[in-house]
Structure 1
Amino acid sequence: MSVTIVEHPVGEPGEGPYGVAVTRDGAVWFTLVHGGRVGRRTPDGEVAYLSLGEGAQPSLLAAATESTVWVTDTTGNRLLHLGLESDGTGIAVLGTTAVPTPDAQPFGVVALDDGTAWFTELGADALGRIDILGRVEEFPVGREGSFVSMIAASGDSLWFTLNAAGAVGHVRGGDAAIAFTELPRIPSGPVGIAVAENGAVWVAQILTDALARIARDGTLAEFPFEPGSKPHAVAADPVGGVWVTLWGTDQLANVADDGTITLHDLPTTESEPHGVAVASDGTVWVALESGALAEVARA
């Protein structure tokens, strides 16, 4: 597979694009984790910014509706629902939800079709749920010091990584008990996670330079990258398999369902690719902490 890659500078030097999400209206949302701001890029290339206030740390995003997103403010211990101002250009705060547990450090987030949002709590070893009325429930995962990190969903099933525990958690429906899949290598450091079109769950293991795939029947397979690749974020590819950012080698990987890996070098060295999202037209967007968004299109 050949691709074309164009980088679009965003933010100020040192602000660090980290998370990225694409809403159904074609807008690309991103977090400036070190700058305390969230940005939105329209399909025409216009960029708007919103400051979340002094000391804020916007981490990850999830597309919620046609034109809105959820974003976690890890240091602010809150989640924000963001959309458009009435003039359709600027970013507006549609709602703010405080996390009840002090210093829970919300990080990963996913929005479900029923209007609820689920998030992870790095500092509290728990999951959180925001219902359609804005009420919050928290659910401890039962593993102390597990550093619950990123989260993905398929229907009403949730999958999430326990970074310090070397495991993946699964909840089949919001009220079900949590099941765990132990990853074979120690330490594995699972971070990014995504559910592919065929239901397979893919997990980036940053400490072992490998990608794990959990099939629908529970079978686990691993696919290694080169040493030092540091796979970080994962996004499902609409045509099958996943895209993975390789933070340590300035690359983007496309991994087919059979494990075939195709590597794409990013144009800028030391670009530090982190977040990745795929738009409805198949365009891949990557947040480069060096200060840009990479737009990746199949040639």
Structure 2
Amino acid sequence: MTGQKIAEFSIPTVKSYPAGITAGPDGALWFTESGGNKIGRVTTAGAVTEFALPNAKSDPEGITAGPDGALWFTEGDANKIGRITLDGQVSEYPLQSPQSQPSEITAGPDKAMWFTQFQGHQIGRITTAGRITEVAIPSNTSLGITAGPDGALWFTETQIFGASPGDDVGQLTTGGSVTTFVVPTANSSPLGIIAGPDGALWFTEHNANKIGRVTTRGSVTDFAIPTPATHPHAIAKGQDGALWFTEYDASQIGRITTAGAVTEFKVPTQNGAPSGIASGPDGALWFTEHNGNKIGRISTEE
């Protein structure tokens, strides 16, 4: 479908493979360049600035705004958590567990950052002072993470890329108590997750081609995406009261209401592979195009 206004902005670094994106405290969007080994910044007018990371091939992935006014991000291949100030100063903190591959990261209700580990069998926590602790979880593979309306962290456990076991959504209290809830659709590979405007958590089912919803009590429902085999990736809450998500293989942006009605919008760049998505300070949704080497913006107004 068409009807929403989409704009795209090229990233200067070739083959930067942008991944995660988040709104910064400075009114701009900040994103990771998993192939470019950089952190990028794009203004709402589309001006892009890039900051190189100290370690070669660190593979930055997830990114979030911290309570200290800086941006915090994961370095999957370097096995570190990074911090970048608004003027581009970078600090890095190595993880205790080797080769844990930190993936997504979110600001928690306790003024710390919490992050998933693709291979670490744990969820990590880092304070703004750089102190890291880890909590064991049932699966060895966790990807998405977000702060829930119940004061807990919610994360996805997935079988994506052949990892096993998975297909759960987990709840982790700040005290370290873990509860998991099975996603009804087998081999669904839940991936991105976000707190919705309805008091529930919403997540993508990468292999099942669905969007899932789980209440804070663990009741799970899901909704099919009209286009087949889109491989939905990240999900964000829009200022219009709906959830917006990326369709990686369909090069589309999806929108789902809390009632489950889905609309899809084609990205101009063919095979752009939209990946990360975040709500911007301008009321639009901003997304990364992993293969298109661009940052996209989609208006919530027709």
Give the superposition deviation at 1:28: 1.0
**Is the 1:25–1:66 contact (alpha carbons within 8 Å) kept by the matching residues of 2?**
no
Q: Cα distance 1:244–1:43, how it changes in 2: closer, same or farther (>3 A)?
A: closer
TM-score by length of 2: 0.91
Query: 1:92 pairs with 69, 86, 89, which one?
Result: 89
Q: 1:181 matched to which residue of 2? A: 181
Which of 64, 70, 74 is residue 62 of structure 1 equivalent to? 64
Deviations 1:242-282 (A, max 9, x none): 10101111110110000001111111110100000001332
Query: 1:37: which partner in 2?
Result: 38
Is 1:136 the counterpart of 2:136 in the alignment? no
Structure 2 vs 1, CA of residues 120 and 154 (structure 1 numbering), >3 Å: closer, same or farther?
Answer: same
Shift of 1:77: 0.6
On the 8 A contact 2:135/2:176 being kept in 1, the answer is no
Q: Alignment partner of 1:84: what SS?
A: coil
Q: Contact (CA 8 Å) 2:238, 2:284: kept in 1 or not? A: no
Whole-angstrom CA distance in 2 between matches of 1:101 and 1:160: 19
Q: Where do 1:17-166 residues align within 5 Å?
A: 17-52=18-53, 53-65=55-67, 67-85=69-87, 91-93=88-90, 95-143=91-139, 146-154=140-148, 156-164=151-159, 165-166=166-167
- Which ranges in structure 1 are unaligned for 5 or more consecutive residues? 86-90
Judge which range, 204-213 or 56-65, deviates more. Answer: 56-65
How many equivalent pairs are there?
290
CA spacing shift, 1:137–1:202, aligned 2, 3 Å:
same
Compute the displacement of 1:200 (Å): 1.1
Unpaired stretches in structure 2, ≥5 consecutive residues: 160-165
1 or 2, which has the higher strand percentage?
1
Question: Given residue 97 of structure 2, which amino acid in structure 1 is its aligned partner?
Answer: T
Q: Tell me if structure 1 keeps the 8 A contact 2:44–2:282.
A: no
| 1:65 Cα deviation after fit | 4.3
Identical columns (%): 26
Q: Deviations over 1:138-174 (max 9, x none)?
A: 111033xx41111011253100000121101012x31
1:219 is aligned to 219
C-alpha RMSD of matched pairs (Å)? 1.7
Paired with 1:221 and 1:151, the residues of 2 have a C-alpha distance of 19
- 1:88 corresponds to: none
Decide whether aligned partners of structure 1 residues 236 and 247 sit closer, same or farther in structure 2, where only a CA change above 3 A counts: same
Amino acid at match of 1:99: L
The residue identity in structure 1 corresponding to 2:224 is: P
- Report which stretch shifted further, 148-157 or 117-126: 148-157
Measure the CA separation in 2 of the matches of 1:270 and 1:263: 15
2: CA distance between counterparts of 1:99 and 1:159?
A: 21
Q: Offset of 1:119 from its aligned partner?
A: 0.5
Determine helix, strand or coil for the equivalent of 2:5. strand
Q: Measure how far apart 1:43 and its partner are.
A: 3.4
Distance of 2:110 and 2:177 partners within structure 1:
20
1:176 offset after TM fit, Å?
A: 4.4
- Taking the aligned partners of 1:51 and 1:24, their CA distance within structure 2 comes to 20
Amino acid at match of 1:121: Q
